[in-house]
Each structure stands twice: as structure tokens, then as C-alpha cells.
Chain A
Amino acid sequence: MSLVALRKVCKSFGKHKILKDINLTIEKGEVLSIIGRSGSGKSTLLRCINGLEKIDSGEIIVNGQVVTQSRNVLRKLHREVGIVFQSYNLFPHLTIEENITLGLTHGKGISLVTAKIIAHSSLQLVHMSDKANDYPARLSGGQQQRAAIARAIAMEPVLLLFDEITSALDPELKSEVVHVLEDLAVQNRTMILVTHEMAFARRSGTQLVFMHDGRIWEKGHPEDLFQSPKTEELKLFLSSVMI
């Protein structure tokens, strides 16, 4: 059974249809990249998967559980699905370590001692062990984003979502974050990324989805889509983002 399945998912904001009949499956261990122009619905799709947005019709199933807006369902879902945002959203009044242990102690009910151990191993994975006692304000954008990634993976989720996590970073800071993503991909984690990092999508991705105007326009293996795009829209998009 697929880890994530979307069937006939539709969503509108008022009169505007953001998602139109989305059908998609993601298997365990896959690295899915979602690309497309802004306004194509990519972020909304991602946010529907972990219940941050409510779908109007259709069905989303994550790890055997149908995604609804019930509080119990969502709390359980959030323990299994981690998300990293474009604007990092670290808690400014807590140290990096506290940022990570908070979800473990009060979201998953783990003891503080164990939580700290987990936090430190997550920070190691993102190469930021020395920053555990710093406050977010002292870190660069790239470091903050890596800390946010550590916070998400510390929860030991079965699925990781990334919403354009390099878009807000200065060019020279993007690579440190992309390196972390590559490490995670190699570790066989299931990842869904809305991204503009085409090189990463091509190298480390196992599936690529191109969205246009609220629909999945093309999907398949990244190499296939990059080398031989079938539709005009994808051709146009690729030519505008590739150097």
C-alpha cells in the first residue's frame, strides 16, 4: 500500500479553484519533487497532505489514515508527518535545542532526557551540533533552515514535507541546505518537496510532478521529464528555470 495517496482531490479558495482533480501516489522511500510556476497550487497541495488546508472533495490517505480536520486525527498525523516551511518558523524565544525538544516532550510525550539525546543526533545529521544552545536570531538563514529541518526529523516522522525551503535564502546559503536534503534522500526517507532546486530534483528525486493551473500536468521519473517534456507548458517552464 502506498504511503501517501491522493484521489480526486479538489480545493477552492472562494471562487478560485486551486486544486483540480489531483491523483497521486507516493511509495515509502520515494523522493517526490513538485515543480511549477507560482500560483499553480503546489504549496496548497503540500499543505493539504498534512491537514493544514482542508480539501473540498476527494480523499487523502497518509500512512493508512484518512486525513480529516478532526483534532485527534490531526494530532496523530502531525506526529507522523514533519514539515519544513519557507520561512523556517523557528520559535525565537527558545534555543535551537529547546526548539527541537518541545515537540518531542509535549507533542510525543517523551522525557526531556531522551528528547535531548534525540535532538543532538538530529543536529548532527544537519551538521549543527555546536549551535544547540544558540538562539535563532544569532544564526544565518541557512543555519536556521537546517535547524528547522533538524526539528522536523527529530520527531521521527514517516513522511517529510518541504515547502520551498531554499526560496528565501541567499544563493550562497542554499547549497548547505541542499546538501542536507541530499543526505536525507540517501537515507531512504520519504520526502515530498515543493522546490525550485532543479538539480536536486533531477539527481536525488525518484519522482517528479509538474503542476500547472491546479492540475498535475506531467508526472514521472525526473530524468524523463527533464529530457523529454511532453507538453508545451513544461517545455516553457523548464526553459525559464534552467540556466
Chain B
Amino acid sequence: MRTFGISEFGFLIAGFRWTVLLSLIAFSGGIFLGFLIALARISHFKILRYISMSYIQIFQGTPLLIQLFIAYYGFSVLLNLKIDAWTAVSLAFTFYAAAYLGEIWRGAIQSIPYQQWETSQCLSLSYYSQLRFVILPQAFRIAIPPTVGFLVQLIKGTSVASIIGFVELTRAGQLMTNVTFQPMTIFPIVAILYFIICFPLSRYGKKLERGFDVTRGITQGM
């Protein structure tokens, strides 16, 4: 039995690194995919709208953990392949993030007053030019606060990857308690480590959010 010391803390930090890395991968992938989903969501083509609406409803209406199980266990049985944990986790979290970020983008785009669309149309701009030069630059600014808020939700969400054995911070904590038998010390430290990265981000997001409607952005993923 080991006691919790520097090297055990180092192991937690190593896990913490994977937490951050996974969050960044899912976040960047999610921004890109979510952007496409948002465009589809506001498209003039009904079928694109329906597909993106269904996508969002599915990924926002089912637990992240189940999505992960399907990605990791479900598909490996389906395809008779051993799916690498990183692949499963990156894909699952990216699709999860894309649904939320897509909704955020859609909300931002739709909050731009219709007069901006109308006026740019009257300057003979194509739909693509209207989006690119008038609508999206303004939507981007509006989307930033809720996007930062979601990043916090995503970082917390990565803890769920521990359940399939992926070694990020939470799993590192579990493993350390298994060898040190000190859950009393370790899990609170794990919590503190998450807090150190999430709290500043939350505050930053709240600072950006000032000026917007009070009840926006206060529901949060667990």
C-alpha cells in the first residue's frame, strides 16, 4: 500500500493532461461539425433542416454515457473490431459537442435581426456573401459566451470516459485510490483539479455574458 505523495499526484496530473487533450479535440471537432449542423439547421432545404434537427435531438436527448457505450462497446461488437479507446472517445465526444455547439450557433445566427439579412440582400449580395460578411461575423460575437459555458460542460463530461476505462483525471483518481486506499484525500483533490480549470472559464464566460438576458446560460450540463 502506497501513501499519497508526489508521484501519486504526478499520476493525477498525467491524467489531467488527457482530460485537457480530449476536451480540446472534442471542442475543435465539435465547433467545425457544429457549424455545419447550424448551417443545415437554417437551410432553405427542408431535408437538411430535418436531418440536423434530428441529430441535435438525439444527441441532446440521450445520456453522454450511453453514447460512449455505443461508440466503444456497441460498435466494436457490431463491426467485430476492437475499437481503440481514444478513437471511440474522440468521436463520441465530438459528436456530442457538435450537437450543443450547433444549437448555440443556430441561436446566435437567428438572433441577428432580419433587417441585416434584408439590407444585405438589397445590396445584391448572394446568400453565401450575406452569411460570410454580414451575419456570421455578428453571430460569432454572440456565440462566444455560451460556447465558453459549454466548454466547461465538456470538460466535466470527459470524466464519464473513465467509466470505459479511458485514463483521464477521474480514472487516474480511481486507480490511485485502488493503490493507496485513500479515497478521502484523492477524490477531493481530483475535484479541486477540475475546479481549477473550470471555475476561471465559468467566470470568464459569465463576464462575457453580461448584457444578455439573465436566464440565459444558467442551465448547465452535469
Chain A directly contacts chain B within the complex, with at least one CB pair under 8 Å? yes
- Give the size category of B's interface with A: 10 to 19
On whether the beta carbons of B115 and A93 are closer than 8 Å, the reply is no
> CB-nearest residue of chain A relative to B130?
A106
Considering only residues 107-133 of chain A, those with a C-beta below 8 Å from chain B are: 107-108
Selecting from B16-24, B87-95, B132-140, B196-204, the interface stretch reads B132-140
A83 interface residue, CB < 8 Å from B? yes
Check if A102 sits within 8 Å of B137, measured CB to CB: no
CB proximity to B under 8 Å, residues A38-84: 50, 52, 74-76, 78-79, 81-83
Q: Majority SS of interface residues in chain A?
A: mixed
A93, B123: Cβ atoms under 8 Å?
no
Report the Cα distance A102→B126, complex, angstroms.
12
A-B contact count (CB 8 A): 52
Which of B115, B124, B138, B141 has a CB less than 8 Å from the CB of A89?
Answer: B115
Residues from chain A with Cβ under 8 Å of B213 in the complex = none
Q: Is A155 engaged at the interface, CB distance under 8 Å to the other chain?
A: yes
Give bound CA distance, A151 to B134, whole Å. Answer: 15
Q: Indicate if the CB atoms of A85 and B119 lie closer than 8 Å.
A: yes
Interface string of B111-126 (1 = CB under 8 A from A): 0000110111111111
A3 to chain B, nearest CB (A): 18
Q: Please determine whether A106 and B125 come into contact, CB atoms closer than 8 angstroms.
A: yes
B126 lies within 8 A of A75 (CB)? yes
CB < 8 Å: which of B116, B118, B133 contacts A52? Answer: B118
Say whether A92 faces chain B, with CB atoms less than 8 Å apart.
yes
CB-CB under 8 A from A107, the residues of chain B are 123-125, 129
Residue of B nearest to A90 (CB): B119
- A102–B124 CA distance with the chains assembled, in angstroms: 10
The smallest beta-carbon distance between A116 and chain B, in angstroms, is 16
Within 8 A of A (CB), among B147-195: none
User: B residues engaging A (CB < 8 A)?
Assistant: 115-116, 118-126, 129, 133-134, 137-138, 141
What are 25 inter-chain pairs, A to B, with CB distance below 8 A? Answer: A50-B122, A52-B118, A52-B122, A75-B126, A76-B124, A78-B121, A78-B122, A78-B123, A79-B124, A81-B122, A82-B122, A85-B119, A89-B116, A89-B118, A89-B119, A91-B119, A92-B138, A93-B138, A102-B123, A103-B120, A103-B123, A103-B125, A106-B133, A107-B124, A155-B123
